[in-house]
Amino acid sequence: MEFTARQIATFLHGEVVGNQEVIINSVSKIEEGIPGTLTFLANPKYNSYLYETKASVVLINKSLVLEKEVEPTLIRVENAYDALAKLMEIYVQSIPVKTGIEMPSFINSSATVDSDTYVGAFAYLDEGVKIGKNVQIYPHCFVGKNVEIEDNTVLFSGVKVYPECKIGKNCILHSGVVIGSDGFGFAPEKDGTYKKLHQIGNVIIHNDVEIGANTTIDCATMGSTIIRSGVKIDNLVQIAHNVDVGENTVMAAFVGVSGSSKIGKNCIFGGQAGVAGHLKIGNNVTLGGKTGASNDIEDNKILMGEWGMDASKFRRVYAVFRNLPDLYKDLYQLRREVKNLKAE
């Protein structure tokens, strides 16, 4: 598909600076731009590439002040990153949606599957399954007994959904996601062995949730593990049994949340952050990368570091930590001087 800079600017309510009729038919990164493509500049770190790129059109923020003339046509918008997201959404929506049932696949006779559903080869839909409209189930997916999947949800290849789980509308589950696997529950015995505590609950995922590749969400011991609307979870995240994740919370890769913890709304967890079990994390809480939460956290807190310190305190502590070698040298020298003074 081809578009002119003027057409793109009209859609984005942007202002064209340069040739309004230049045509683009693809996109590129600003540092690798080639003629005929559109790119964007949102991070000041990449400002220098604006004056070097060979892309034909560049989306930039209205607030950006140019240091010199540029070769490509510019489209000034309020937020270049948001504008690019809108264009990408249009592109994805233009891709034809698959429908129909590929063979070989297995759909139990008691399953309810809408006529617009796509079921890829080697997928397995167990008894009592209910599938909504426009659902996409790619090859090698497993959908267990009595699972419910609502409209417009996508399960990419290799997703496994254990029995009794429920998935809402407009969700995306990427390859390798496992929903409803057993929580980590074992009772220690007197002889040093462990007896399995069977997990008989399920997982409920609300609307507009996206879950990254190879993430696992365990079923509840009893009741439900709940992922509420608008949550975005990265690849390789572990959500344990009976966890409740609040609306619009986001988690980066390698986050781990232990059993029965409650996560508030609009939280942000950086990569490798961890939450201990049975905690209550408030709304609008931010955990920096590798931050460990071992106690309840109040609303609107920003924590950093392995021990989950307040961010401002952590920065002060870290500044001292970085200088420890020099401080130790000073201390060692002072001890020698005190020792000499005493000797005299």
Structure confidence by residue, pLDDT tens digits, 53-102 = 999 999 999 999 999 999 999 999 999 999 999 998 888 887 888 889 99
Known catalytic residues?
241
Rounded to two decimals, the pTM is: 0.84
Q: What is the mean pLDDT of the chain?
A: 94
| Phi, psi at 37, each rounded to 5° | -115, 160
> pLDDT of the chain along its 344 residues, tens only?
789 999 999 999 999 999 999 999 999 999 999 999 999 999 999 999 999 999 999 999 999 999 999 999 999 999 999 999 999 888 888 788 888 999 999 999 999 999 899 999 999 999 999 999 999 999 999 999 999 999 999 999 999 999 999 999 999 999 999 999 999 999 999 999 999 999 999 999 999 999 999 999 999 999 999 999 999 999 999 999 999 999 999 999 999 999 999 999 999 999 999 999 999 999 999 999 999 999 999 999 999 987 776 877 777 787 787 888 888 888 888 988 888 888 87
| DSSP labels, 224-280 | EEEE-TT-EE-TT-EE-TT-EE-TT-EE-TT-EE-TT-EE-TT-EE-TT-EE-TT-E
SS (H, E, C) 54-68: CCCEEEEECCCCCCC
Amino acid at 196: K
Structure confidence by residue, pLDDT tens digits, 159-187 = 999 999 999 999 999 999 999 999 999 99
Closest C-alpha among 65, 79, 61, 55 to residue 5: 55
Say if residue 139 is preceded by a cis peptide, omega within 30 of 0. Answer: no
Q: Give the sign of the dihedral formed by CA 4, CA 8, CA 11, CA 13.
A: negative
| Percent helix, strand and coil across the chain, each to the nearest 5 | 20, 30, 50
